[in-house]
Amino acid sequence: MTASNNKGSDHDQGGLYLAAYAQFLNTQPLSVHTRRAYLSRTRLFCTFLRSRPVSYGDPFASDFARDYAVRDFKTYLKTSRTARPASVNLSLAALDHFYAFIGLAKPQVSREELIQAAPQALSPDEQKHLLRILQTTASARDRAIATLLLYTGLRIGECLALNLEDVVIAERKGRVIVRSGKGNSYREVPLNSQTRQVLADWKDYRTGHFNSNDNGVMAFFLSRQGKRLTPRATDLRLRQLASKAGLPFSAHTLRHTCLTNLVRGGHDLVLVAEIAGHKRLETTRRYTLPTPEDRESAMQSLEVDY
């Protein structure tokens, strides 16, 4: 649909385009949430245009008028509607999509810079609480999986891809072998004493309850049916443990917690990247970013005792 297809006032054009766009959205491979958000943001933009005088041309036909209108709309969102940066950027993305439908180029409007923060990780107190909850967990398997993720930073898929031969446990040292991590990369991650103990407990249970050669399954972690666990089922089980502990975490949160602990413990970023399986050091540097708690602590430190 192009801007020259409709005639009439700018206000009428906005309504016509909006109605056509609503029908067009229903044909797009977007989630229901995204379609709903794009339509509501575009509708708000058209309402905004009707409330302001047209000073720079038709925002549905002129590149300059389009850019000025969207820039003013961005200011309106930030000031009159007190929208947060992420919400402003969603509105701009919606208008990019809307103008592409009209047949114009994307508005030349800068996005809001989002506050950069470290990935979500459990605090030291939350980690202590989790480990105490795990100690009382009846399932040796669940205890082993949660502890392994917390102390190795493995991705959940890497954890569940482990076979018996990939978990090497000795009295004083041990390691897990990730044979095909992200990007088909190989790495070995050492195991601390706590992790070695819970993995050994699970391995003893596994030996006593499953035949390693049943159905050719050599997976280290097995379901009750003796089959390799799926990431979805495992993450759901971890979330259930999180609910029991009263903590907001998933499998990925445990990975983030491990890597955060390493970085904040002063370990070299190259070493942490190797353990994490990161190909780019910039990915690992995210763990050096401040948390909301860091910012609060910094500002609190400014107080003067008088």
Residue written as tokens 């005639």? 7
- Does residue 80 carry a pLDDT above 60? yes
- Does residue 46 carry a pLDDT above 60? yes
The reported pLDDT for the residue numbered 8 is 42
Residue 152, burial from CB neighbour count under 10 angstroms (0-12, 13-18, 19+): buried
144, 39: one domain: no
Kindly report, residue by residue over 109-145, the tens digit of the pLDDT: 999 987 777 788 999 999 999 999 998 887 999 999 9
* Positions marked catalytic: 155, 182, 252, 255, 278, 287
177, 217: one domain: yes
Residue 228 tokens, joined = 């390799």
15, 82: one domain: yes
Kindly report, residue by residue over 231-265, the tens digit of the pLDDT: 999 999 998 888 888 988 889 999 999 999 999 99
Q: What does the alpha-carbon distance between residue 247 and residue 218 come to, in Å, rounded to a whole number?
A: 33
Specify the pTM.
0.68
79, 128: one domain: no
136, 96: one domain: no
Contact between residue 287 and residue 263 where contact means Cβ atoms under 8 Å apart: yes
Residue 109 tokens, joined = 């409007």
40, 169: one domain: no
Q: Which of 50, 69, 102 is the last residue of a domain?
A: 102
Q: Which of 26-30, 124-128, 161-165, 206-210 has the lowest mean pLDDT?
A: 206-210
Average pLDDT, stretch 211-228? Answer: 78
Tell me what percent of the residues of the chain surpass a pLDDT of 70.
Answer: 94
The reported pLDDT for the residue numbered 190 is 97
Residue 158 in domain: yes
Residue 118, φ and ψ in degrees, nearest 5: -65, 155
Cβ atoms within 10 A of the Cβ of 47, count? 11
Could you list the residue range(s) of the whole structural domain that residue 187 is in?
Answer: 124-297
Q: How confident is the model at residue 22 (pLDDT cuts 50, 70, 90)?
A: very high
